[in-house]
Structure 1
Amino acid sequence: MIQCPNRPICDGCPNFELDDDDDHARVLEELRPLFETHDLEVPTEILGAGPRLGYRNRAKMVVKRGQLGFYSRGSRDFVPIETCLVHDQNVEAAINAIRPLVKGLDGLKFIDVRYLREGVVTLSGKRDFSSEETEPFRVALSELPTKWSLHQVVSSASVVHPSNSSAPVLEAQVRDKSFELPADAFFQLNTYVLEAIHEAIRERVESGDLLDLYCGIGTHGLSLVSPEGRVRGFDAVESSVLAARRNAEALKIEADFAIHDDSQPPNWSDVAGSTAITNPGRQGMSTEVVEWLNSKDLAGIVYLSCQPETFTRDVERLTNWKVDEIQIWDMLPKTSRVEVLAFLSPRKIEVLEPSDTWVALVAGRAPHGELPGGKFKVRAIKRTDQFSLVSIQGTPVSEDEIVFALRKWGFPLLTPNQALAKSMFLNRLPLENVVSGAPCHLFAQARVPVKILDSLVALGTSEG
């Protein structure tokens, strides 16, 4: 077995000494409590592709006391590194070429080394370095057998901005398509696994239009769209979206990429029948995007996430969607970090027949007693400071009559999705049975078929 020369002082690859089976078993056990808490089935295997070492196409390293290294996980403890076995060999070659030079460049804080079809080294420091100071770096990189360029940014505790030099542009290859990639743009660290994930998506997604949420340079949408389809996407990073537009033009794909963050939902029309591919950052999707997805008649959702915690939170909030399959991909072998790939399809919401027993989620502290008109008797099942889960009983009435009665109750107006997002105790409800078909401006409610009333009552009762 290959031994890591940096263990045990470096904890970047905690599973390095384990064989693949033990490595994957450990990661699955770490994920199990999280998935089970959110009533998600834990996959039985972790999928992989490509080499287990030498896969990482990017390295961000700390410069301290003239040495290169990393910060220990969860701390600012510096760990000097001479070599890293998970780095791509071209990344390692560039690091070794400039290693002797970092000590002589005063103010240098970080280096970012990235290699795809060609490479770029970004120097990050407290000041703008002169061309005379950086010339030795250019010379060292020029002596490598692969093509490299040099870039620099000026950083402080609160801001990073480009220096006077313009940022280079890389070319990324995904299967048979080439993408323009700004040096500072996001791109998957493991191209081998990225291509395998795309193949898994192709097997599940039928032809048609794609919605590329958090699109970056358009890698997912432009790689996966069928010849007759079009791509629409958004991202907050302007340079990435501009690159996505140029990539679509170069690939001759009909596309529309917008620049905005996720505090506002997309404003696309005629999205019915499209498939959404969402690949948010670690923070997951915003409430606005989740509600937008809940409101649209899409063919399906493909959710790709590097953060299982926010993934599980988001799919729980996607109340109009059900999870058909979850795959776990070993994006960064030898580490505990994985990529979650999930396929979601629309829930079939049935129109409920008139019933003499309903369950509703209402805003505020709902009292016991009769609703206006005297036709319905209300009993609290569960209560928080903001919401009450109540049972409503009376003569058989339709859903519309229940909505009308609730509106006359005079509580604050909230959408069903806002109520679901804010009421943590609802995480425990069997939400696949919850019907939330009311227009958004009606009284907040989640009407539940009577067949699950007993399981709701089992949550406990509140009398005052």
Structure 2
Amino acid sequence: MQCGYYDAGRCRSCTLIEQPYDAQLAGKCARVGALLDTHEDLVWAEPVASVEEGFRNKAKLVVGGTVAAPTVGILDAERRGVDLRGCGLHEDAIAEVLPALAEFVTTASLTPYDVPARRGELKHLLVTASPTGELMVRFVLRSQEPLARIRKHLPTLLERLPQVVVVSANLQPEHKAVLEGEQEIALTERESLRMPVGGVDLLLRPQSFFQTSTSVADALYRQVRAWVEEVRPRTLWDLYCGVGGFALACAAPGRAVVGVESSEEAVRSARAAAERDGAQARFVAADATTWAREQGDVPELVVVNPPRRGIGPDLAEWLEGSGVGTVVYSSCHPESLARDLAAMPSLRPVRGRVFDMFPQTGHLETAVLLRRDQ
């Protein structure tokens, strides 16, 4: 992949961009393999590769500059805006709307937040693309002060960009390196973006997590479902379930599926999708570890998809002693995966696969199938 921003030194986020893609993927597989090489029964499937560019279904863009000349991209070392609206990582659907969104900043007089001066209103633009071609746009604001102007000019923007079907404002009043705040204000009638992936039709509300690459997520969901169908469990828990992707992909007649997620917005998304499709899955807004420890019954299979920190010692200890026969672990951080697997010696890794969700960087997704020693 060739990138003018990288060549000019304006952005260095793609740390592996100078390596050929095949070498990037081989290096990631070698890294995971070395971390898990003590598990002698672990058999690796061929990794799932990605396209090298145009794969990101979400853009998390810092807004800088001025009202008259806003930048949409990142901040430099002096915390000033660097415009990256032509970044080659984004899906075409996102790249096509960024110029109009930058113009909207000027039209609606949305003052970009000046980090060194700690003044201004608009902090970030968050754009998510669905395989349907529809988009979600979120304005991250310091306060509600710009809302009236956004509402005034939004109909014109939506007429110009009919593919934008969900718009909201997120309030992040604090001056700290946190992308968004707790309060979300809907600005359109629709509040969910349809995300068909892995054979299921998910719903994505603002503040809900979804994987970065839709095509690679599709392969990940299908792989996890295939492993689950080999076991054909009657009971399944999906811990850290997000918007319910694995739970809904693995739901089947006669199978009791429960998804657990701390984000109430994500749980609302999952419940709505399950109700719409009549899926036999229920969803609980709770801490995964606390919830699991409080249950009297133990399922036949558990899927875990934690954040980078991993499931941690408490949940690993519970799984180790629970008697759960099969675990599917989807990890976005190989080091925490290796640490968690070491804490569950009775659950033996037997299958593994690397999913390259993040080309041009060292990040990756790994799925591992674990079976309990009898």
TM class by shorter chain equals 0.7 to 0.9
1:70 to 63, 69, 74: 74
Q: Deviations over 1:336-387 (max 9, x none)?
A: 2100111111023xxxxxxxxxxxxxxxxxxxxxxxxxxxxxxxxxxxxxxx
- Number of corresponding residues: 343
CA distance in 2 between counterparts of 1:263 and 1:227 reads 27
Is the Cα–Cα contact under 8 Å of residues 212 and 277 in structure 1 kept in the other structure?
Answer: yes
Specify the SS of the correspondent of 1:6: helix
Specify the SS of the correspondent of 2:5: coil
Does 2:183 match 1:157?
Answer: no
Does 2:153 match 1:140?
Answer: no
Letter of the structure 1 residue corresponding to residue 71 of structure 2 = Q
The aligned residue for residue 12 of structure 2 is 11
Letter of the structure 1 residue corresponding to residue 22 of structure 2 = D
TM-superposed deviation, 1:228: 2.7
User: Which structure 1 segments of 5+ residues have no match?
Assistant: 349-464
Query: For 1:82-231, what aligned pairs fall within 5 Å after superposition?
Result: 82-103=85-106, 104-106=109-111, 107-116=121-130, 117=132, 118-128=134-144, 129-136=146-153, 138-144=155-161, 146-155=163-172, 156-157=174-175, 160-162=181-183, 164-165=185-186, 168-205=191-228, 206-208=231-233, 209-231=235-257
Q: Deviations over 1:25-52 (max 9, x none)?
A: 333455566445xx35798786225633
Is the Cα–Cα contact under 8 Å of residues 71 and 82 in structure 2 kept in the other structure?
Answer: no
Is the Cα–Cα contact under 8 Å of residues 138 and 150 in structure 1 kept in the other structure?
Answer: no
TM-superposed deviation, 1:193: 0.9
User: Which structure 2 segments of 5+ residues have no match?
Assistant: 112-120
CA distance in 1 between counterparts of 2:313 and 2:219 reads 30
TM-superposed deviation, 1:316: 0.9
Closer/same/farther in 2, CA of residues 226 and 299 from structure 1, 3 Å limit: farther
CA distance in 1 between counterparts of 2:78 and 2:314 reads 33
Letter of the structure 2 residue corresponding to residue 160 of structure 1 = G
TM-superposed deviation, 1:138: 4.6
Bigger relative contact order, structure 1 or 2 (CA pairs below 8 A, ≥6 apart): 2
Query: For 1:433-448, what aligned pairs fall within 5 Å after superposition?
Result: none
Is the Cα–Cα contact under 8 Å of residues 279 and 303 in structure 1 kept in the other structure?
Answer: yes
Letter of the structure 2 residue corresponding to residue 3 of structure 1 = Q
Is the Cα–Cα contact under 8 Å of residues 98 and 141 in structure 1 kept in the other structure?
Answer: no
Closer/same/farther in 2, CA of residues 105 and 222 from structure 1, 3 Å limit: same
Letter of the structure 2 residue corresponding to residue 59 of structure 1 = A
Is the Cα–Cα contact under 8 Å of residues 43 and 350 in structure 2 kept in the other structure?
Answer: no
Is the Cα–Cα contact under 8 Å of residues 198 and 219 in structure 2 kept in the other structure?
Answer: no
TM-superposed deviation, 1:84: 1.3
The aligned residue for residue 276 of structure 2 is 250
Is the Cα–Cα contact under 8 Å of residues 348 and 372 in structure 2 kept in the other structure?
Answer: yes
Specify the SS of the correspondent of 2:273: helix
- What RMSD, in angstroms, separates the aligned Cα atoms of the two structures? 2.7
TM-superposed deviation, 1:100: 2.6
Specify the SS of the correspondent of 1:264: helix
Percent identical residues: 25
Letter of the structure 2 residue corresponding to residue 51 of structure 1 = V
CA distance in 2 between counterparts of 1:92 and 1:197 reads 25
